Amino acid sequence: MAGVSIEERRLADRYVLGDRIGHGGMGQVWRGTDLVLGREVAVKTIDLTRVPDESAAARFEREARVTAGMSHPNVVTVHDSGVEGDTAYLVMELLPGPSLAEHLADGPSPIEEVIEVGRQVASALEAAHARGLVHRDIKPANIAYAADGRVRVLDFGITQLADTTGAHSLTATHTVMGTAEYLAPEQALGGRVDGRADLYALGCVLYTLLVGGPPFRGPTAVATMMMHANDPVPDVRGGRPDTPGWLADLVTTLLAKDPDGRPAGAGAVVQALTAHRAPAVAPTVAMSPVPAAVLPPMTPPAPPVTDPAGRGSSWPLVVIALVAVVALALLGWQVLAKNADSGATPSTTPLVATSAPPTTAAPDTSAPEPTPTPTPTPSPSTSPSQDPAQGVTDAVAALSSAVRVLQRDGTLDQKAAKSLDDGLGKLAKALRGGDPQKVSSETTSFVADYDKGVQDGSISPEASAALDPLVADLTAAVSGYVP
């Protein structure tokens, strides 16, 4: 692009491209101007001739729409996307930077910063994985600081294009050396990739931020990928002795060779890093609550007592205050002693005082009834996980229902609807047969047919906008079902 003027490089007759501000194995990033809204943007362009897949353009548009619908404070905002000729483009918010790759030029990061960056990236991955999106290229160059001080993850919705040609083809040029340093073993060997590959890459990023360099680096991209697959995981404390033990253990777990040995999901990583993050403000001292029932009604303060000469005297107020404090203390001790004698466990939840003054009741000499222990509501991380096969069944049912509704409303062409129904029928049959590999094969065929329909126009943009999230849900469910 050197020597090309701004006027000569436009996309969609709306976005004027200026200086190139980044590049990698999957495309180039330009500083651009949105002529319609009059704002600066970042525009990523991808040469589709380098991705020899007939459905690449349709897949790119579908995933870009899903990404644009994901509003998250740690994911870069996507404004627009499209395909013009052989160029796919993605219009995003322009980040002031720096990227973590540029940040690393100053050396390793402080421990607290590593924890916070890791927490934010894991939060972005949790949101993406919930929508069926797998990034596949988490690395320092794809994580940048925004104007609000948070980090944003870039390139969601684009990097899946890399897998269409197989993992090994990514080593064709030296431009992917950085990517090779953050590839999970299963990705490096061309195996099936799911969200756990992103967790491995996050482990590599945390290691890099702590030490100043990635855990594995060979003389070539292929050599580096083989190190990921075969070499033992280095202890981050060897390069950063002040790394807390819990953080070193988390990095080691993220870098497990076997995907099953990594954390159960990005949410678990968020929880681990949140538990150890530095508080944003100085912590306040927690005071033991005094039961509201033992507090006397508030009365207005008495006027100062004066001596005959009219001079104010403060000592009676001091005596009154001391007496009140002692009385409250005695009342508190009485309540605690009564609870201890009766075997009741004091509640740790402060009582809410009401506006009405407490009534005096006759003392109850009977033993207090034990307070029932509430049954805790299981959190998503502890509740039993859904049957993977049922997840696929539900996703198929949701898609079938949507296809029927869109066909009935005239949004989806009848022939395209029949093709989608046939594919979903084959998938449901494979699911009933209990053959995961057949389910995977039928899913691949269905998604390919869907992409082809989007590309040739038989599936309208309105229909694809409604079906895209459901197709993403289906692929995510199948990924959890197929071993």
Active site residues: 137
The number of angstroms, rounded, from the C-alpha of 135 to the middle of its chain's C-alpha atoms is 11
For residue 122, which of 274, 297, 229, 286 has the smallest C-alpha distance? 274
DSSP state of 281: S
Q: Integer distance in angstroms from the first to the last C-alpha of the chain? A: 45
C-alpha span between 405 and 274 (Å, rounded):
43
Q: Give long-range contacts, CB 8 A cutoff, 24+ apart: 298-305.
A: none
Q: Which residues have a Cβ under 8 Å from the Cβ of 104 and sit 6 or more positions away?
A: 140, 208, 209, 212
Q: What is the DSSP string of 77-146?
A: PEEEEEEETTEEEEEEE-----BHHHHGGG-SPPHHHHHHHHHHHHHHHHHHHHTT---S---GGGEEE-
Partners of 90 in the β-ladder: 44, 81
301: left (phi over 0), alpha (psi -120 to 50) or beta: beta
Partners of 46 in the β-ladder: 88
Partners of 88 in the β-ladder: 46, 83
The b/e string for 83-95 (b: 16+ C-beta within 10 A; e otherwise) is beeeebbbbbebb
Whether the CB-CB separation of 129 and 266 falls below 8 Å is answered with yes
C-alpha span between 74 and 95 (Å, rounded):
12
Partners of 416 in the β-ladder: none
Whether the CB-CB separation of 224 and 217 falls below 8 Å is answered with yes
Compute CA distances 90 → 54, 83, 182, whole Å.
19, 9, 23
C-alpha span between 266 and 75 (Å, rounded):
15
Compute CA distances 135 → 154, 250, 301, 474, whole Å.
9, 21, 65, 17
Maximum distance among all Cα pairs of the chain, rounded to whole angstroms: 105
Q: Which two tokens stand for residue 184?
A: 């999970």
C-alpha span between 193 and 352 (Å, rounded):
52
The b/e string for 215-225 (b: 16+ C-beta within 10 A; e otherwise) is bbebeebeebb
Rounded to 5 degrees, what are φ and ψ at 90? -135, 125
Whether the CB-CB separation of 353 and 292 falls below 8 Å is answered with yes
Q: Which residues have a Cβ under 8 Å from the Cβ of 483 and sit 6 or more positions away?
A: 436
